Structure 1
Amino acid sequence: MAPNYKLTYFDAKGLLEPTRYLFAYAKVDYEDNRINRDDWPAMKKSMPFRSLPILEVDGHTIGESNAIGRFVAKRTNLYGHGDIEQAKVDSLVDFLEDIKYAGTGLISIFREQDEKKKQEMKEKFFNETLPDYMEVLEQHLQNNNGGKGFFVGSSPTWADFSIAVAVDRLEMFQPGYLSKYPLLSAHKARVEDLKGIKEWIAKRPKTAT
């Protein structure tokens, strides 16, 4: 009997979207349980790490977005072939965490209430902090098949989905930013055009984040 998967998160793309891409590309059914943020305080203490997202599978609950993504990537054969490729996939996904907390930190920027200060923080992040990280990603992509395919090996992995979602979020916050990085822009388009993911993007709920 096929396993039953249930993802629980807020009504957002956020931390869970790479996992949704994995399921979509692999054509694996799952329950996409989206909760109202007003309901979260009452649920929080029942969560394994008092955070979302979680994945429930056959009586087990898994927390933390990267652990969930890694588990689903393994289950769907989208984690790379062999331990070297898998280590490369992990390192790229971990590098996205470095980006998230680089400089002032994206989270701090988007939580800032003072609009003037927020704009100053945002400009510094996109103009001074982020370019080094984007150049590193482009170099990794360039090093694999000349940047015309995927980040690891010859087929899509969890790393590709995680990076495509991350750069899409950056483009959303700073429209036009990806034009400086043509390899990453083309990679994002390539991922979003994959069968399964293309259909998911067309039908997924429209959310702000």
Structure 2
Amino acid sequence: MVMYTLQYFHVRGRAQPIRILLEDQDLNWEEKVVSPETWHQGDLKKTCVFGQLPALIKSDFIIFQSNTILRYLAREHDLYGKDKQEAALIDMVNDGVEDLRSKYVKLIYQTYDEEKEQYIKNLPNDLQHFECHLSKNNAGKGFIVGDKISFADYSFLDVLLNHLVLAPSCLQDFPLLKAYVERLSARPKIKSFLECDAHKSRPINWNHKQ
């Protein structure tokens, strides 16, 4: 049986969509937690291609960059759509999710105190695009693209869950997105993961702002 090792810090951060994918797909994996002390020593950082984690290790194969890891696992486990057109749409959605994640990360680590209120006020402008796109796929009753789950769903779910902590009422005007989060969060393996102590003990972000 294939064993994956996910190497990251004791934080949800960039590794969280990967964890959700691994759990939901019932894959054989373990996490190797990197302490701040180990990271700041610098030896491990020098082995990372771009000086960053997470890393995914399978035997003697190792890759870095969170979205690269998601795409690799998607190719390995049929989570990339039924054809090239669906794959392109999945990439498109994931790029949109990454844009929203980047805005969120900038807020959390750079402008939280002075811009949180305005960020939440502007958030519907971003969410409406996803609501519209979701509505065009099975009337918004399934996944973000196609008729089966893809790696973009895991990434999108993570971003939405983070925003529901930041702004608990942010989906009140987006019934399809609200139902989407509830539906994916209720998948047995995801539900079990979100309720486990290991998940709950991890802060969302390094600086504990959320």
Q: Residue 106 of structure 1 aligns with which residue?
A: 104
Rounded to whole Å, the distance in 2 between the matches of 1:92 and 1:21 is: 18
Q: Residue 155 of structure 2 aligns with which residue?
A: 162
Kept in 1: contact 2:23–2:193 (CA 8 A): yes
| Amino acid across the alignment from 2:7 | T
**What does the per-residue CA deviation read over 1:98-125, in whole Å, with 9 as the maximum and x for residues that have no partner?**
2234xxx33332224xxxx734311222
Size of the alignment, in residue pairs? Answer: 200
Q: Residue 32 of structure 2 aligns with which residue?
A: 33
Q: Give the 3 Å change call, closer, same or farther, for CA 133–123 of structure 1 in structure 2.
A: same
Matches within 5 A, 1:82-161: 82-101=83-102, 105-112=103-110, 118-128=112-122, 130-161=123-154
Q: Secondary structure at the match of 2:199?
A: coil
TM-score, normalised on structure 2?
0.89
Q: Residue 5 of structure 2 aligns with which residue?
A: 6
Q: Secondary structure at the match of 2:63?
A: strand
Rounded to whole Å, the distance in 1 between the matches of 2:66 and 2:154 is: 13
Q: Give the 3 Å change call, closer, same or farther, for CA 111–22 of structure 1 in structure 2.
A: closer
**What does the per-residue CA deviation read over 1:70-103, in whole Å, with 9 as the maximum and x for residues that have no partner?**
11111121121111111111111111122234xx
Q: Residue 75 of structure 2 aligns with which residue?
A: 74
Q: Residue 205 of structure 1 aligns with which residue?
A: 199
- Alignment counterpart, residue 189 of structure 1, candidates 172, 179, 182: 182
Structure 1 residue 58 displacement after superposition: 2.0
TM-score, normalised on structure 1?
0.89
**What does the per-residue CA deviation read over 1:156-201, in whole Å, with 9 as the maximum and x for residues that have no partner?**
1111111111010011112222223221111011111112212222
Kept in 1: contact 2:56–2:63 (CA 8 A): yes
Q: Residue 59 of structure 1 aligns with which residue?
A: 60
Rounded to whole Å, the distance in 2 between the matches of 1:160 and 1:106 is: 18
| Amino acid across the alignment from 2:78 | N
Rounded to whole Å, the distance in 1 between the matches of 2:194 and 2:4 is: 20
| Amino acid across the alignment from 1:137 | F
Rounded to whole Å, the distance in 1 between the matches of 2:137 and 2:131 is: 10
Rounded to whole Å, the distance in 2 between the matches of 1:127 and 1:35 is: 36
What are structure 1's unaligned runs of at least 5 residues?
A: none
Q: Residue 168 of structure 2 aligns with which residue?
A: 175
Kept in 2: contact 1:48–1:61 (CA 8 A): no
Rounded to whole Å, the distance in 1 between the matches of 2:64 and 2:179 is: 32
Consecutive aligned runs of 4 or more in structure 1 exceeding 4 Å deviation: none
**What does the per-residue CA deviation read over 1:103-160, in whole Å, with 9 as the maximum and x for residues that have no partner?**
xx33332224xxxx734311222212x2222000001100001111111111211111
Kept in 2: contact 1:8–1:53 (CA 8 A): yes
Structure 1 residue 65 displacement after superposition: 0.2
Q: Secondary structure at the match of 1:68?
A: helix
Structure 1 residue 48 displacement after superposition: 1.6
What are structure 2's unaligned runs of at least 5 residues?
A: 205-210
